[in-house]
Structure 1
């Protein structure tokens, strides 16, 4: 895969930023956090690969808005390898690296928990087949932005939209966008009329650990006549969704499609699935 090539102007901008520690801390604290910790953390063992990753990380985190519509994917794409039948971000190492795991936590906070590769965005659009998409628990709306760019009609909502409320998972930080797509709150969601039978419900990494958000959202969708679900997250027993959600899927839904090209971080087991109500 081709390495990132910077113009002389862009390289000069980044060097000026990195040479001014105070400015870096003020304007890009998330980036400063990573750069302070990374040298002491074990990498993949491939110094060239690690250096190329750091360059992409710095470039897109310092100006991801104007340089790419999907900086998350641009940052991790060269580190995707096949492992045990899955496409994972591990830098070619089955156990990844400590440094990559640290970068993962930052990228998930800045963008989204799951990785919207270009292949998965295309797959999701195909499953929806022109139907409008309703995302609940949208976080920063990063997935909503990618799906919208593919031509889909997307409405996104979150109990705590990061640009308007304190969101523990997606905190506001200088130098990073609070949202990538308009994200309404629950009041806006309740005030919206829609044809539920023709709408696809999208749940991307709904909270787990006993949180009932996923099962309650699915139950309401069912009562309203909804029939198609796009789910990105871990299977039952993982970090996403509650048991009642997965039990409801087993009882009343059929798995109609699964993205074989989906990309995960090596240390999670998330999938992208399309479900249709029986």
Structure 2
């Protein structure tokens, strides 16, 4: 699982925030400090207000489904995130996380940024809801994950009872996106080697590297008809244009996970694709015309987010904060 860091307001795609190397001991110390600081933050006021937003941010733990809260005991990636500021989209089940606080805020120095946490665990956030959805839509068919990085998704899927082979072209110590952390047996294989060796498995790609041919190499050589793609659409920070061209021409977006926790400023989703000519097409399904795969799915199934607005957001344009600064409310103390 690879990707490039991008901040909401203080960092743009061109700057790219990269974390310094983390060791397990230093990471644990920072996580302990961070958890204490954020707990104190929410204890003082359960609502956090940002300029440009009518509705407040809340702790992620207040917004997660019960099954995902219960799953935290077996999902170390999620534990520190429970106290991160979060907001639910108005027309989608997606929950967006903010990875920083304004300078001068007491908890700001201890915040671990998206790039730091992603290098330790995964560039996409794992939840029990996501794993159960993947298990349901793949109907128990084994998977092969290409570009598995640290193997965190493979570990969580295996522990959930799924059969997954994790592969990556780079070993854990040589992978710049994982900082040497490894959670599962990741087989050293190129993208083409992996799909050729496992043609009967469902292909899975999680945050394939931006402007890199790995994703298209896997997809073009894959002989199967089912793809699980976790990442952003064209124009985001995943894969390259050739990959999305291939999806548009030869694949049909069938479903999107109804619950998705992601970092604010990113539009990643967990999506199921079927190849045109696959089982559903042979039963009479007529392929749709080429277009934006994610937008197509939004129009054809119930998980809609076409307006890309936030719950009650008053900011103009994209609905995102116009300023990195935020303010704490002194007049409101109830939960939204």
Fold shared by both chains (TM-score > 0.5) = yes
SS at 1:73 equivalent = coil
Determine which of 88, 93, 102 is the counterpart of 1:82. 88
Distance 1:71 1:255 in 2: 31
Query: If the length of structure 1 is used for normalisation, what is the TM-score?
Result: 0.69
Instruction: Please list, as runs of the form range in 1=range in 2, the aligned pairs for 1:31-180 lying within 5 A after superposition.
Output: 31-32=28-29, 47=44, 68-77=73-82, 79=84, 80-86=86-92, 87-90=94-97, 97=101, 99=108, 102-162=112-172, 165-172=173-180, 178-180=181-183
Q: RMSD value over aligned CA atoms?
A: 3.5
Q: Deviations over 1:46-103 (max 9, x none)?
A: 75669xx8xxxxxxxxxxxxx9421112332454541233432437xxx963549743
1:229 corresponds to 2:227: yes
Distance 1:39 1:103 in 2: 16
Alignment: residue pair count: 223
Q: Deviations over 1:202-247 (max 9, x none)?
A: 0000001x211111110011xxx21100000011010001111111
Closer, same or farther: CA 245–47 of 1 in aligned 2, 3 Å: farther
Instruction: Please list, as runs of the form range in 1=range in 2, the aligned pairs for 1:251-270 lying within 5 A after superposition.
Output: 251-270=249-268
Structure 2, unpaired ranges of 5+: 1-21, 48-58, 60-71, 103-107, 277-336
Q: Once the 2 structures are TM-superposed, how far is the Cα of residue 260 of structure 1 from its aligned partner?
A: 1.5
Q: Deviations over 1:160-188 (max 9, x none)?
A: 121xx32111113xxxxx21111010179
Query: If the length of structure 2 is used for normalisation, what is the TM-score?
Result: 0.58
Determine which of 175, 182, 187 is the counterpart of 1:184. 187
SS at 2:262 equivalent = strand
Closer, same or farther: CA 167–119 of 1 in aligned 2, 3 Å: same
Instruction: Please list, as runs of the form range in 1=range in 2, the aligned pairs for 1:7-26 lying within 5 A after superposition.
Output: none
More helix by share: 1
Closer, same or farther: CA 48–159 of 1 in aligned 2, 3 Å: farther
Q: Once the 2 structures are TM-superposed, how far is the Cα of residue 105 of structure 1 from its aligned partner?
A: 2.2
Q: Once the 2 structures are TM-superposed, how far is the Cα of residue 150 of structure 1 from its aligned partner?
A: 1.5
| Contact map agreement 2:230 2:271 (CA 8 A) in 1 | yes
SS at 1:147 equivalent = helix
1:30 corresponds to 2:20: no
Structure 1, unpaired ranges of 5+: 1-24, 54-66, 173-177
Distance 1:26 1:260 in 2: 35
SS at 1:113 equivalent = coil
Equivalent residue for 1:199?
A: 201
| Contact map agreement 2:146 2:168 (CA 8 A) in 1 | yes
Distance 1:201 1:191 in 2: 10
